[in-house]
Amino acid sequence: MKIFLTGGSGYIGRATIAELLRHGHTVEALARSEQSAQAVAGVGAVAVHGGLADLDVLRHAAARADAVIHLAQADSPDTELAAATAMQDGVGPGTYVHTGGSWVYGDTDGVQDETAPWNPPSVVAWRKPVEDQVLARAAEGGRPVVVQPGLLYGGDNRLIDHFLITPGKRAGAVPYIGDGTNHWSLIHIDDVATLYTAALAAQPGSVYLGVGENHPTMKEVAEAASRGAGLGGKTASITLEQARTQMGPVADAFALDQRLTSAKARRELGWVPVHDDPLGTFERG
């Protein structure tokens, strides 16, 4: 298949392009700068110059493709929806895979799946109206699919590294919020790439959580990351108010207590995540 992909130069994008190529697909990837163009070319994709506000570029690139995977995130909900609409218009009856996230479910009571009610923190509250309109295209003959990755780890870790590990190295102890007993639903970067590839064959209107089945606590992650960073397991508890000051609104998402399952993706797509030791990955740095 010929795939058009946004966010190709990013953390998830590079891994997903590599996985798509391994499955014999060809990839065109949106690139808003020369640096991004070089990055996507470096992993084997053909660069399409433009950004998420360039609706004609998105529409035409999607029209050349058999399917679209939208990994980038626009700087406003309106721009995000306009970009999604343009790509869905372009790809027509082809599959359109949209990126959501597991944080939209808020705190969970036990292990939950995609049927759990939404209770998002403010940082992701904007997702609901966008995803509703994306999925509504299934009733009009489109093939929308939403993938909701958990908190990513592996590789350069991105959010966890930026907000926890790097500040922890400077302070000499990796922080966690409160007593740190809140659980995280994590997903390895390589596993989420295989999920996006599998989602190309999903039924229209499907929504899939992408998470591992281990749910370590925030404190356990902080301890493992501290060892991996050479800090000897040193951690420090900070209050939610301190976390908000240091991290901004993402602090409320890090404080969520989430245990989620990807059983639906396993059952319907045959997707099997192969990385099941997140704490070991953090300990290895």
Q: What one-character-per-residue DSSP string does 225-275 give?
A: HHHHTTSTT-EEEE-HHHHHHHHTTHHHHHT---EE--HHHHHHH------
What does each C-alpha distance from 160 to 27, 91, 178, 282 come to in angstroms? Answer: 29, 34, 17, 10
Strand 143-149 and strand 95-99: the pairing is: parallel
Nearest Cα neighbor of 98 from 70, 133, 72 is 70
Q: What is the DSSP letter of 189?
A: H
**Hey, what long-range contacts does 105-109 have (CB within 8 A, 24 or more apart)?**
105/258, 105/260, 106/256, 106/258, 107/256, 107/257, 107/258, 108/257, 108/258, 108/259, 108/260
Give the model's pLDDT for residue 28.
Answer: 98
The domains found in the chain, sorted by start residue, are 2-151+187-210 (3.40.50.720), 153-185+213-259+275-283 (3.90.25)
pLDDT of residue 285: 86
CB atoms under 10 Å from CB of 69, counted, come to 30
Q: Per-residue pLDDT for the chain (285 aa), expressed as one digit of tens each?
A: 999 999 999 999 999 999 999 999 999 999 999 999 999 999 999 999 999 999 999 999 999 999 999 999 999 999 999 999 999 999 999 999 999 999 999 999 899 999 999 999 999 999 999 999 999 999 999 999 999 999 999 987 779 999 999 999 999 999 999 999 999 999 999 999 999 999 999 999 999 999 999 999 999 999 999 999 999 999 999 999 999 999 999 999 999 999 999 999 999 999 999 999 999 999 998
Measured distance CA(262)–CA(115) in Å, rounded = 12
Q: Give yes or no for a contact between 232 and 172, defined as CB atoms under 8 angstroms apart.
A: no
203: left (phi over 0), alpha (psi -120 to 50) or beta: beta
Which H helix or E strand runs over 97? strand 95-99
**3-class SS of residue 137:** helix
Instruction: Tell if the pTM clears 0.75, that is, is over it.
Output: yes
User: Rounded CA gap, 158 and 12, in Å?
Assistant: 10
Please report the pLDDT score of residue 199 as a whole number. Answer: 98
Q: Residue 7 half-sphere exposure, CB side, CA atoms within 13 Å?
A: 21
Any bridge partners for residue 259, and if so which?
111
| 281 closest CA partner among 214, 182, 235 | 214
The most distant pair of C-alpha atoms in the chain lies apart, rounded to whole Å, by 56
